[in-house]
Structure 1
Amino acid sequence: MTLIQRYLFRQIGVPVVAACAALAGIGLLSQSLDQLEVIVERGQSVWVMVKLTLLALPQLFSVILPIGLFVGALIALTRLQREQELTAAFASGMTRWKVISPAARIAAIAAVVTLVMTVLIQPWSQRTAREQAYAIRTDLAALLVEEGRFVQGPDGLTVYVQQIEQNGLLKNLFVYLDDGKGGVRTWDAAEARFEQVQGQPFLTLTNGSMQEYSSNGVLNQFSFARFPFDLTPFTDSRETIRYKPSDLWMGQLFDPTPDLVAASGSRGELLAEAHSRLSSPLYALTAMALALSAIMGGAFSRTGYGWRMAKAAGIFLVVRVFGYGIVAASAWNSWLNVFQYLLPLVAAALALRMLFRALKPGRRSPALDRLKARFA
């Protein structure tokens, strides 16, 4: 790149990065508000909430980046055009393509980053988030223990803990179990801790006693220094992790197994998701093409380019909404997947056609003059 092109690259790139960062911040804020349930209702740590919030960002990236690219490019190009820096570049002998090539490079970089995000990072982050959510949902420690309250668990189990220390140690614990047949068992312990023994959950009680009142009216009692309370009967072993199409790798989407189709969706849905990931980077090119055509596709205006920017924004919005509609329709008609690529490419081509048109405002078309002369 020449010196002027490097200057234009910086002037356009900085607002684009700033706009994408601002949108990413808004996305993180909205996701963090959704994840507050993890702390409030599930008793998880702040780190778990932060982890789930960050893992949701790659899936939003295909939406955030084209919008940030469009907004940042409009801001940068408007300033360059208003201060007549683009006019000075044309006056120095630069062609229109040389002037817009820095913006095209930024759009290409954004497209490559989006492709890497959607193809590689998104399935990894979504699978990790799904596994973390499954671990939270099946975490008996979070479901059964709440400081200072009697918590009712499954199958007649009730647990009370007076104090929960930072290291996970439970102080003054009481466990009540009703077998549903008239028999009742209770445990009380000075300390307890949740542990995994050969992959199975146990509540290890220390320095306590156990009382059992059988259905035939017999009371048994004994004390213990250490007692492992098996929590396996209270876990739902039938529950498994169910992956959605957004969680799957590209190979699984294009060539799914019958079990995967039964668990995650139809073959049409998986194929539509695969083509959606591959076509998402094209919207970065469309966004930049529309931004360039809005500012440089017409005559210079001292009063601003608000109307042209509004039209470009409306066109981009319509194209993106139609893109989502095509993804949904492609799940039922696989031949529509080709339009996932054609729509952004056609929109970008039309925007570039407007940008490179030879006519200027007020100048008559030679083709129109010839046509009128033929029929005169």
Structure 2
Amino acid sequence: MRRNERARNRVIPIARMTLIQRYLFRQIALPVVGACASLAGIGILSQSLDQLEVIVERGQSVWVMLKLTLLAVPQLFAVILPIGLFVGALIALTRLQREQELTAAYASGMTRWRMIEPGARLAAIVAVVMLITNVLIQPWAQREARDQAFEIRTDLAALLVEEGRFVQGPNGLTVYVQEIEQNGLLKNLFIYIEDGDEVTTWDASEARFGRVDGQPVLTMQAGSWQQYSSAGVLQQLSFDRWVFQLAPYVTDTETVRYKPSDLYLDQLFDPSAQLIETAGSRGELLAEAHARLSSPLYALAAMAMALTAILGGAFSRTGYSGRIAKASAAFLLVRIVGYAVVAASAWNGWLNVFQYLLPIAATAVSLRLLFRALKPRRASGWSLSALKARVA
């Protein structure tokens, strides 16, 4: 009977601690998700304002602007997630400490490691999400955005036509379009070409850009053609369909030039000669690769600093503004120095090791301060068993 009672007494505290840890995990995770979502919203808004040029000057649809905006978000995760984790953890831990829920958790017999385990797990999850994003999602999204931007920049409709205006192109070409529909159909097109003393014009009720045998063309429907030669002869004819060759008037030899942020890890660590020539030097590519692998470590540093800011001192009913300010300044300093190390690593390859050492050192120092401060404090109403369990 006594053995059964002892077994039950061992199981009950473990079950209670597991429930408390789940509660703490939820209480910390919700503010973290909210902070990350808010920062992501600010990033999306900023990107959308930058992409307004796509609609205003390039005549693209709202969907294209939205696509380019969303494709830029994965690259922001390396900045957004650690900050969101730090801010959300501070908010949650401050509330838990002020309402003495953490004190109650200590009184229930939770050890130091079990107290910080929910935050550590959340930080590990964020670090894994950042690593997957940096290695797989970011280069794919950046490539898609780069290809889309290249298509917009080389879009013949955007280069040669503008709704309601005469657009002058190369080699004496002038184009006017009364209306451009969302599907790319041109309404009431007029083309004027002056070649010395010879003038040629086309007008069509509808037209559309396309390619024939890889060459850019403009297919016109229901129009007419006029040509006035230097000899004073006027030629004219009507047509149902006319394919106008655009090759003499456009430069179609450009290719997509990728940047280091658009490349996958294998390309960064082992770049070809063409990538080194177009994307950047070998040092810049290596610095980008190590930055992607090391940036998830800042999630661990952010959580460690947040835990130290709230739990690394005595309980205070007036708040923790002083400790929070110090932790925020330390986190900001570590992150800025991290960016400086990335920039310096592009020209000094041996500095790449500090991309890993900096967040690891920040995490270690924070945990050291946290465990030094997490000592049992006397409190009225605590049982002797609870004090013994906390000391353990």
For 2:202, the equivalent position in structure 1 comes to: 187
Change (3 A) 1:359 1:175: closer
Q: 1:59 aligns with which of 75, 91, 102?
A: 75
Conservation of the 8 A alpha-carbon contact between 1:163 and 1:170? yes
For 2:250, the equivalent position in structure 1 comes to: 235
Partner AA of 2:121 in structure 1 = R
For 1:336, the equivalent position in structure 2 comes to: 351
Residue 358 of structure 1: how far off its partner (Å): 5.6
Residue 214 of structure 1: how far off its partner (Å): 3.5
For 2:60, the equivalent position in structure 1 comes to: 44
For 2:390, the equivalent position in structure 1 comes to: none
SS state at 2:46 partner: helix
Residue 158 of structure 1: how far off its partner (Å): 1.0
Change (3 A) 1:177 1:292: same
Q: 1:149 aligns with which of 165, 171, 186?
A: 165
For 1:220, the equivalent position in structure 2 comes to: 235
Residue 109 of structure 1: how far off its partner (Å): 0.1
Q: 1:92 aligns with which of 105, 108, 123?
A: 108
For 2:28, the equivalent position in structure 1 comes to: 12
- 1: CA distance, partners of 2:219 / 2:105: 76
Residue 193 of structure 1: how far off its partner (Å): 1.8
Partner AA of 2:80 in structure 1 = I
1:164 matches 2:183: no
- 1: CA distance, partners of 2:291 / 2:87: 23
- 2: CA distance, partners of 1:114 / 1:167: 38
For 1:355, the equivalent position in structure 2 comes to: 370
For 1:173, the equivalent position in structure 2 comes to: 189
Partner AA of 2:146 in structure 1 = R
Change (3 A) 1:358 1:204: closer
Conservation of the 8 A alpha-carbon contact between 2:202 and 2:225? yes
Q: 2:312 aligns with which of 297, 302, 313?
A: 297
For 1:68, the equivalent position in structure 2 comes to: 84
1:78 matches 2:94: yes
Q: 1:278 aligns with which of 269, 293, 296?
A: 293
- 2: CA distance, partners of 1:244 / 1:154: 30
Say which is worse superposed, 197-206 or 227-236, in terms of deviation.
197-206
For 2:280, the equivalent position in structure 1 comes to: 265
Change (3 A) 1:211 1:358: closer
For 1:345, the equivalent position in structure 2 comes to: 360
For 1:369, the equivalent position in structure 2 comes to: none
Unaligned runs of 5+ in 1: 363-376
Partner AA of 2:32 in structure 1 = V
1:132 matches 2:148: yes
Question: What count of residue pairs does the alignment treat as equivalent?
Answer: 362
- RCO (CA 8 Å, sep 6+): is it higher in 1 or 2? 2
Residue 268 of structure 1: how far off its partner (Å): 0.2
- 2: CA distance, partners of 1:56 / 1:166: 24
Q: 2:322 aligns with which of 307, 330, 333?
A: 307
Q: CA RMSD in A?
A: 1.7
Say which is worse superposed, 310-319 or 212-221, in terms of deviation.
212-221
Deviations 1:85-108 (A, max 9, x none): 111111111101101100000000
Deviations 1:138-177 (A, max 9, x none): 1111222222221222332111122334443322211011
1:115 matches 2:111: no
For 1:28, the equivalent position in structure 2 comes to: 44
- 2: CA distance, partners of 1:71 / 1:187: 63
- 2: CA distance, partners of 1:166 / 1:16: 41
For 2:268, the equivalent position in structure 1 comes to: 253
Conservation of the 8 A alpha-carbon contact between 1:17 and 1:68? yes
Q: TM-score, normalised by structure 1?
A: 0.93
Conservation of the 8 A alpha-carbon contact between 2:175 and 2:192? yes
SS state at 1:356 partner: helix
- 2: CA distance, partners of 1:65 / 1:327: 18
SS state at 1:242 partner: coil
Q: TM-score, normalised by structure 2?
A: 0.89
1:197-216 to 2 correspondence within 5 Å? 197-215=212-230
* Seq. identity, %: 75
Conservation of the 8 A alpha-carbon contact between 2:312 and 2:374? no
SS state at 1:189 partner: strand
